[in-house]
Amino acid sequence: MNISRAWLGAIVVTLVGFNSPVNAADNPRSVVGTWRVTSLFYRILDTNEEVRPFGDAVTGFLNYTSSGRVSVFLQKKNPPSPSDTDFSDAKRAQLHKEIIGAYAGRYSVEGNKVTHHIEVAWRPDWIGQDQVRYINLQADELTIETAPVFSVVEGMAGRRSVATLTFKRVE
């Protein structure tokens, strides 16, 4: 009788552990590290169409620290470079349009779901919000799928989509 209670207790502890948030640093197949983006496409949900509005011209990094911090900066490759004297509002607006995503904050992991708790962002409406991501980690390749959102990407604005990004581990 005592043995079966011990087994039952172990099973309960194990099941509860699987459903609670995980510190990525404690996971040997962890997302902790620096990742370089290798591709980005959007799937429009009402048509299932895949769209690559930036083609293969995407660059940037995603960084997860062992202390639970995340930072992201993604942009079009080879953005126009203004002269040292031309940082007019029009030129800065043009440069801002080259940014695909830029934010930082804390993150938490639960199974294959990573939640980014945004503290600073290129989009002020994201500050104080959570961005949910679903991950698949295979060796040194990380695939991230966003939760469905209404797109703000030019040509897709207002359409519900899911972004899929792939990354290669840098360190």
Three-class SS of 78-110: CCCCCCCCCCCHHHHHHHHCCEEEEEEEEEEEE
Read off the pLDDT of residues 13-65 as tens digits, 9 standing for 90 and up: 333 333 334 444 445 358 999 999 999 999 999 899 898 888 888 999 999 99
- Predicted TM-score (pTM) of the model is 0.76
Q: Which among 118, 133, 119 is positioned nearest to 31, based on CA atoms? A: 133
Quote the tokens at residue 164: 């899929």
Which domain does 51 fall in, by range?
23-169
Read off the pLDDT of residues 66-95 as tens digits, 9 standing for 90 and up: 999 999 999 888 776 766 667 788 877 777
Does the pLDDT of residue 6 top 70, yes or no?
no
Domain-embedded: residue 116: yes
Average pLDDT over residues 147-151: 84
User: For the domain that residue 134 is a member of, what is the CATH number?
Assistant: 2.40.128.490
Residue type, 109: V
Domain-embedded: residue 3: no
Burial class (CB in 10 A: 0-12, 13-18, 19+), 151: buried
Q: Which among 32, 51, 74, 70 is positioned nearest to 170, based on CA atoms? A: 32
Domain-embedded: residue 9: no
